[in-house]
């Protein structure tokens, strides 16, 4: 084979512009830039980006040092203050408790006195003058005294006013009202609020000296003025104590003010809930000292951080950024002059980086030449690759025709004769295509070759195929191939890419129609466009309710009774009209939409047939299976899961498969069908007799039903070999315990023939045309 012509090098020279560069620049100019990528934005400056990065890194650190740590310290100070308030409150409460105990003991001395007992019961009238003099009030440090008779009547009620003892009936009566009724033997004590004034009071039952008898009540009380309260506190210089109303919730409260902490704790009353609280006001000396310390700490942290950032920026700018700026200038120059290299005198890691980049540039220039040759040329044949053809012929106006050749069953040939034979076969095919100034050969896929002709050369595609299909020599003999080709030509200059697309359409047409050679014409283009339209419109057809199922009955040949219906998918497009299944089903299989269509058809058929059982209890439905569906690894599991989800019996369903579907992967198909039959789903072999059907299929496949093709039936009415085959097929199916269904029954004569031959069931226009299931139910026989 002559040596392939070298490609023109469009990437040499300083003035060359990469393909698409102008369009990219226009796109960038036309596109609205945001702040970061704008001409003056941070995205254009490494220094600004480093500053932003440092800011991003420094902000959390400063936040932690200036906010988080001080907040933690402040929280600790508050905790210390809470503990301090708790300690001081405990001290103050103990002081009050001590005073309560003292007054209680003082009251106890008077209550266990026979003279007091006699006075309370009215037998010692001189007791008041003797016992409740100024010395008693002064010595006991009390302000009020009261005695009641056993019946609760107040015998005496006195108060100290300066150096005099005066009656105090209303106050004593109010104090006695605060006591529990009846008063327990151990008495009661506490702090109460009477007439907006706080009192510390204690009361005891009056008895004789020996504890016998039960007189009235002995009561002493002390007015807790601020002066009296201050005298009771041991730490009056540390905190200030006073009595105050309790908070609304009636519990203790703690209030932090800028310079002091106020804590309130409840004080027990003789009976019932607390009426007053002990309020302590404590200076926040620790807090104020801590705040001063925190501000000093913040200042030191801020100063150290700014100094460190400034030093780091100076170092980074001098030792890194300046060097990188020079590298940027060098790389921009390298873009214009590939021979230029980075300045590499720097002794740090940046210098090592520059020297490494220089070495890589040298290595990449050498590798680029090699890779370019590999990308543009096929390594096996030496022909141009698809990319090489595109670059060579992109602006060539002399291109007139394109012939695409596909080698079918290449994997099978590799398995039969080995990879070495397949490689030699591809090389020889490329040699037979030839390669000169007017004929360019390319390898566009693993099994596809292309022959591009330039004016004024012409080729005869059929003659070229004949020459390519001449036998290939083997050590053991010869191998003959049947190739598939697509051809497109034009008498006018046509872009190479358009001509290649036309030839590809012709090749796909030949593959779809099982033809030897496809020659492009406008009808192919329209069919391809129509197929693309169908593929696009088919998406979402089920959701748009464009799909529906028609059903054709299957009847018993002897009785005429309908035993099942076959579900037939229909598509009614609002603009395209009724699209035949033979048109859109292949499109769905090629595009992968057959999975959704198959699931929708199965679910709809099961749902509608199950609903029809209300009027037709023995209804069954047959659903066709696409080859693509049957070859799914989990097909059987999906069908059984659908039955489970819809809560439909497996005996309701019959799946119909064709011979060609099964033969694509017999083992996988048999596994699926066997699993379905084990679950109760019946299996029918559809269109038996339409192709090169083998009777051995009836014994090899897990089947329940054989459906005889309509062409089989039409010829079976004549005394021909095919008629004999029909009779023998029915007889063999009966021997194998398989039911037979004849398709395409169009008149009573065919039905009579089937009855004579012993066929079980019939299907066709003579029985009923396909119709909606609800309409068929009214015609059911």
What digits encode the pLDDT tens for the residues 507-559? 888 887 778 888 888 777 777 777 788 888 888 888 889 999 999 999 999 99
Residue with more model confidence, 409 or 717 = 409
> What pLDDT was estimated at residue 510?
84
The predicted pLDDT at position 719 comes to 57
Residue 721 pLDDT: 66
The 10s digit of each residue's pLDDT in 723-739 is 777 788 888 889 889 99
Q: What is the pLDDT of residues 185-225, one digit of tens each?
A: 889 999 999 988 999 999 999 999 888 888 899 999 999 98
> Per-residue confidence at 331, pLDDT binned at 50, 70, 90?
confident
620: which 2 tokens? 């069954």
**What distance in Å separates the CA atoms of residue 342 and residue 324, rounded to the nearest whole number?**
10
Rounded distance between C-alpha atoms, residue 709 and residue 745, angstroms: 10
Rounded to two decimals, what is the model's pTM?
0.48
Whole-angstrom distance, CA of residue 741 vs CA of residue 722: 17
* E strand or H helix that includes residue 739: strand 739-743
**Is the confidence at residue 763, as pLDDT, over 70?**
yes
How confident is residue 2, by pLDDT bands cut at 50, 70 and 90? very low
CB atoms within 10 A of CB 751: 20
- pLDDT at site 19: 42
pLDDT in tens, 243-292: 888 877 656 677 878 788 888 888 888 888 888 888 888 887 777 777 78
Residue 772 and residue 550 in contact, taking contact as beta carbons nearer than 8 Å:
yes
Distances (CA, A) of 271 to 40, 93, 107, 292: 80, 18, 18, 48
DSSP sequence for 500-513: HHHHHHHHHHHHHT
Q: CB–CB of 433/459 below 8 Å?
A: no
Residue 13 pLDDT > 70: no
Does the pLDDT value for residue 312 go beyond 60? yes
- Burial category of 36 from C-beta neighbours within 10 Å (exposed 0-12, middle 13-18, buried 19 and up): exposed
DSSP secondary structure, 657-690, as one string: EEHHHHHTSHHHHHHHHHHHHHHT-EEEEEEETS
**What Cα–Cα distance (Å) separates residue 21 from each residue in 376, 394, 741?**
21, 17, 67
Higher-confidence residue of 347 and 23: namely 347
29 pLDDT more than 70:
no
Label residue 568 by pLDDT band (50, 70, 90): very high
**pLDDT mean over 90-97:** 85
The residue that leads in pLDDT, 501 or 346, is: 501
**Cβ 146 vs Cβ 171: under 8 Å:** no
**What's the whole-number mean pLDDT along residues 442-460?**
86
Classify 740 as helix, strand or coil: strand
State both tokens at 216.
Answer: 């009235």
Between the CA of residue 111 and those of 121, 136, 173, 205, 706, what are the distances in Å?
13, 14, 18, 6, 118
> How far is it, in rounded angstroms, from Cα 669 to Cα 575?
38
743-770 mean pLDDT: 90
Residue 672 has pLDDT above 60, yes or no: yes
Query: In whole angstroms, what is the distance from residue 695 CA to residue 689 CA?
Result: 9
pLDDT in tens, 429-438: 888 888 777 8
Report pLDDT for 555.
Answer: 94
Long-range CB pairs of 95-101 (<8 Å, 24+ gap) are 95/232, 95/233, 95/234, 96/191, 96/200, 96/232, 96/267, 96/278, 98/232, 99/200, 99/222, 99/232, 100/189, 100/190, 100/191, 100/200, 100/202
Measured from the Cβ of residue 450, the count of other Cβ atoms closer than 10 Å reads: 24
Angle subtended at Cα 537 by Cα 534 and Cα 543, rounded to the nearest 5 degrees: 135
User: pLDDT tens across 456-494, in order?
Assistant: 878 888 888 888 888 887 766 677 888 899 998 888 887
- Around Cβ 458, how many Cβ atoms within 10 Å? 10
Identify the H or E element spanning 88. helix 69-111
Residue 579 in tokens: 């699209």
| The pLDDT value given to residue 10 | 39
Whether 754 shows a pLDDT value over 50: the answer reads yes
Query: Whose CA is closest to 540, among 494, 588, 477?
Result: 588
Q: What is the tens place of the pLDDT at every residue in 108-165?
A: 999 888 999 999 988 888 888 888 888 889 888 999 999 999 998 999 999 998 889 9
Which of 313-322, 495-504, 609-618, 691-700 is least confident? 691-700
Q: What is the average pLDDT across 604-610?
A: 95
pLDDT-derived band at 8 (thresholds 50, 70, 90) equals very low
**Sign (positive/negative) of CA torsion 498, 503, 506, 507?**
negative
Of the pLDDT bands very low, low, confident and very high (cuts 50, 70, 90), residue 7 is very low
Write out the DSSP string of 581-631: HHHHHHHHHHHTTHHHHHHHHHHHHHHHHHHHTTT-TT--EEEE--HHHHT
Band (27; pLDDT cuts 50, 70, 90): very low
Give the lowest-confidence range in 534-538, 577-581, 638-642: 534-538
Cα distance between residue 202 and residue 342, in whole Å? 99
Q: What per-residue confidence (pLDDT) applies to 676?
A: 95
pLDDT digits (tens, 9 = 90+) for 365-392: 777 777 777 778 888 888 888 888 888 8
Is 650 or 32 the better-scoring residue by pLDDT? 650
R_g (Cα) of the chain, nearest Å:
54
Q: What percent of the chain has pLDDT over 70?
A: 89
217 HSE (CA, 13 A, CB side):
30
Which tokens belong to 136? 């008693």
The reported pLDDT for the residue numbered 781 is 61
Q: Centre a 10 Å sphere on the Cβ of residue 776 and count the other Cβ atoms it contains.
A: 21
> pLDDT tens for residues 387-414?
888 888 888 888 888 889 988 877 777 7
Average of per-residue pLDDT values in the chain:
82
């Amino acid at each position: 084979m002559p040596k392939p012509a070298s490609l023109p090098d469009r990437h040499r020279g300083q003035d060359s512009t990469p393909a698409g560069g102008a369009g990219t620049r226009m796109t960038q100019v036309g596109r609205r830039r945001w702040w970061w990528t704008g001409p003056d934005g941070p995205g254009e400056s490494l220094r600004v980006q480093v500053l932003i990065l440092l800011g991003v890194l420094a902000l959390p650190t400063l936040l932690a040092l200036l906010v988080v740590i001080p907040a933690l310290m402040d929280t600790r100070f508050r905790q210390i203050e809470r503990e301090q308030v708790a300690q001081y409150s405990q001290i103050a409460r103990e002081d009050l408790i001590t005073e309560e105990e003292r007054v209680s003991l003082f009251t106890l001395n008077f209550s266990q006195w026979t003279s007091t007992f006699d006075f309370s019961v009215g037998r010692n009238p001189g007791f008041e003058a003797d016992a409740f003099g100024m010395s008693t009030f002064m010595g006991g440090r009390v302000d009020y005294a009261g005695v009641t008779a056993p019946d609760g009547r107040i015998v005496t009620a006195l108060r100290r006013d300066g150096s005099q003892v005066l009656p105090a009936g209303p106050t004593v009566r109010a104090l006695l009202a605060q006591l529990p009724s009846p008063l327990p033997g151990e008495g009661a004590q506490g702090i109460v609020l009477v007439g907006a004034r706080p009192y510390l009071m204690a009361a005891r039952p009056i008895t004789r000296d020996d504890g016998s008898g039960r007189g009235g009540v002995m009561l002493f009380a002390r007015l807790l003025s601020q002066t009296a309260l201050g005298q009771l506190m041991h730490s009056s210089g540390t905190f200030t104590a006073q009595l105050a109303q309790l908070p609304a919730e009636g519990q203790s409260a703690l209030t932090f003010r800028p310079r002091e902490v106020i804590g309130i704790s409840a004080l027990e009353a003789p009976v019932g809930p607390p009426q007053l609280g002990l309020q302590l006001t404590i200076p926040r000396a620790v807090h104020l000292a801590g705040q001063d310390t925190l501000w000093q700490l913040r200042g030191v942290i801020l100063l150290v951080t700014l100094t460190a950032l400034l030093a780091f920026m100076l170092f980074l700018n001098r030792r890194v950024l300046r060097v990188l700026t020079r590298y940027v200038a060098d790389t921009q120059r390298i873009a214009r002059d590939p021979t230029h290299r980075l300045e590499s005198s720097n002794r740090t890691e940046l210098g090592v980086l520059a020297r490494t980049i220089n070495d890589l540039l040298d290595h990449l220039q050498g590798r680029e030449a090699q890779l370019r040759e590999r990308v543009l040329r096929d390594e096996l044949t030496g022909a141009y690759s698809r990319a090489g053809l595109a670059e060579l012929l992109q602006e060539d106006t002399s291109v007139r025709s394109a012939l695409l050749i596909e080698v079918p069953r290449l994997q099978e040939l590799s398995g039969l004769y080995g990879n070495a034979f397949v490689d030699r076969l591809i090389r020889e095919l490329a040699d037979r295509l030839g390669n000169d100034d007017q004929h360019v050969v390319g390898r566009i896929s693993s099994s596809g070759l292309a022959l591009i002709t330039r004016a004024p050369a012409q080729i005869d595609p059929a003659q070229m195929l004949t020459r390519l299909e001449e036998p290939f020599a083997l050590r053991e003999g010869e191998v003959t191939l049947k190739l598939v080709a697509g051809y497109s030509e034009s008498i006018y200059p046509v872009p190479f890419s358009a001509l290649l697309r036309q030839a590809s359409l012709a090749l796909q047409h030949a593959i779809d129609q099982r033809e030897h050679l496809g020659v492009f014409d406008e009808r192919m283009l329209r069919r391809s466009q129509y197929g693309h339209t169908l593929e696009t419109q088919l998406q979402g057809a089920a959701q748009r309710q464009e799909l529906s199922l028609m059903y054709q009955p299957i009847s018993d040949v002897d009785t005429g009774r309908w035993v099942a219906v076959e579900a037939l998918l229909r598509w009614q497009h609002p603009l395209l009209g009724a699209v035949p299944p033979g048109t859109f089903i292949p499109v769905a299989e090629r595009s992968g939409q057959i999975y959704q269509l198959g699931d929708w058809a199965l679910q709809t058929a099961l749902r509608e047939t199950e609903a029809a059982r209300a009027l037709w209890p023995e209804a069954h439905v047959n659903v066709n299976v696409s080859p693509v569906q049957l070859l799914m690894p989990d097909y059987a599991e999906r069908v059984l899961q659908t039955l489970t989800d819809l809560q439909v019996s497996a005996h309701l369903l019959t799946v119909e498969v064709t011979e060609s579907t099964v033969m694509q992967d017999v083992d996988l198909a048999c596994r699926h069908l066997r699993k379905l039959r084990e679950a109760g789903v019946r299996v029918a072999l559809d269109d038996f007799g339409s192709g090169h059907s083998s009777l051995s299929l009836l014994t090899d496949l897990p089947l329940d039903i054989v459906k005889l093709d309509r062409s089989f039936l039409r010829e079976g009415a004549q005394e021909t070999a095919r008629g004999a085959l029909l009779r023998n097929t029915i007889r063999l199916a009966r021997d194998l315990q398989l039911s037979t269904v004849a398709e395409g029954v169009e008149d009573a004569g065919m039905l009579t023939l089937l009855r004579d031959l012993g066929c079980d069931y019939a299907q066709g226009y003579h029985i009923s045309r396909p119709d909606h299931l609800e309409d068929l139910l009214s015609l059911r026989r």
